[in-house]
Chain A
Amino acid sequence: MQNITIARNNVNTEALDAALRDQLGNACVGISVGNGQVIVHLTDEATSAQITSAQQIVANHDPEVLTDEQQAEQDRQQRLAQLRPNNRDTIQPDNFAGQLNALAQKIEWLELELAELRGRG
């Protein structure tokens, strides 16, 4: 394994890993972050061009740019925060007689709460 160490702080580990794997494919084994540095783990077969590419990707990395999954998780948390204030009471089935849309909204909120309990979207 070749370990390419680049000094930098403030890293979105998932996003940087995704960017490196997207560019380098199987040459990238992963990254490690901490102690003020990023270490890109490349296979022994990684070329000097791939090493240079990895260094550039790390240098140009913007931690504020989220992955699609991170964005979806952020959106889910925001939606959950919006729905919780209106769903504090226990469900009363009689309240939903002929109220299919209201029932659907209740289900949406429950789905989000379940996902939150499971710790993922």
Chain B
Amino acid sequence: MNNIVDLNSIDTDWAWARYEPKSDSDWSLAHAAHLYRRAGFAVDRETLEQAITSKSVELVHKLVHTEKETASFESESQSLADLVLATAKVENLPAWWTYRLLHTGRPLHEKMTLFWHGHFATSGEKVTESKLMHEQNQLLRKHALGDFGVLLHEISRDPAMLIYLDSVTNRKTHPNENYAREIMELFCLGEGNYTENDIRELARCFTGWEIRRDKFRFNRYQHDTGKKTILGETGEFSGDDGVDIVLRQKAGPEFIVRKLMKFFLFDEPEPADTLVKPLAEKLRNDNWQIGPTIETMLASNLFFSKHCMGRKIKSPVEFAVGFLNALEGTTNLYALSNGLTDLGQVLFFPPNVKGWDGGRAWINSSTLLARANLIRSLLDRKETRFTAGKLSDFFDKHNLRKPEQIVDWLEQTMFAISLSDELKNQLAREFDAGKANREQRLRNGLHLMCTLPEFQMA
């Protein structure tokens, strides 16, 4: 991706000011689709058309402040979780989460849960107890847009996290430095904002924090009660004191905002300090409440500008779930989850403690082919249905009879980047090509469109 403009030169006040569309072209289906792609996992056409009857700030406000899922959704989600947990196979958990991603009434909360899942990366590869992985996921969801400080405290005692970081025992004679290192380097401050001594001293705070029979336990006999000096503060700190000290560092909000900007706004370039600082300041002033910062980000001029629209590569989960959501699709969720393996992102199985790299790392010759194969397999599966029916019925329902209409409709609904007229004409011809029946031709055409480079962008 080439930089359109040097982001350092952008007026910061303009960037974070509320987006106020001046004309219809400033608030179109493309803008609404952009919002739902980034703040969720895409939506169907009807939702997009309704969206443009509201103001952008109202939509963002609703996305951030939808407090609860419906009782029926939570009940269904729980029954699926019960099944998955009863099988005791952590490999079945991704299907449960994918169900949530497809049917949630709070897409931004699920998106943020995914963000925190990559941030506080914990893998079922090592934590094979599905109950623990499920509990951690629920914890991330509970605080997805809430108080980062509370989340950090709770994740520090989370059994799945501590098992993943080999920190089930932590004795005062041999403080385990794993968690202390990750909380500073990966979870809160970033490299260069602490010393090796800070890690050793923070590790002493966590002594006595143990996991026994899958539960957190504080073993007071193993806790180092002596004085510690961490990041310039000295005292007889406990583990919670240590977490609070980390949370007080100025570098913290900047580190989190920078990561959120890369997640929601653009893959490249690295966000400029001038853009990061105002939001970091806000996050600090909001006492680590994440929601208001996200709301500012998503309702901003920058978010709806050419610097952001179409400037991210879809993650595999966004790619697959977005495909189904846009086309009101359903399918075999076990197969879908397994199918994401070759694309490089399986929920509950991040590759390492750093989570997924994202950005350009999503795409290489192998994963690009895997993306095409995934769509093909989705379209070939008998379980894949569009509004509970065939693809031809789906297009008929939307009064899309001609190939040209279908291509235009798909472009508006599913593409972040406009297609050239020449390409669209070519695609329309492909929708009519071959001797297969209409349903098969439509599926072939749709598959072709989803393999385009443009479709990989969000």
The answer on A and B forming one complex is no
Task: List chain B positions with a Cβ less than 8 A from chain A.
Answer: none
Task: List chain A positions with a Cβ less than 8 A from chain B.
Answer: none
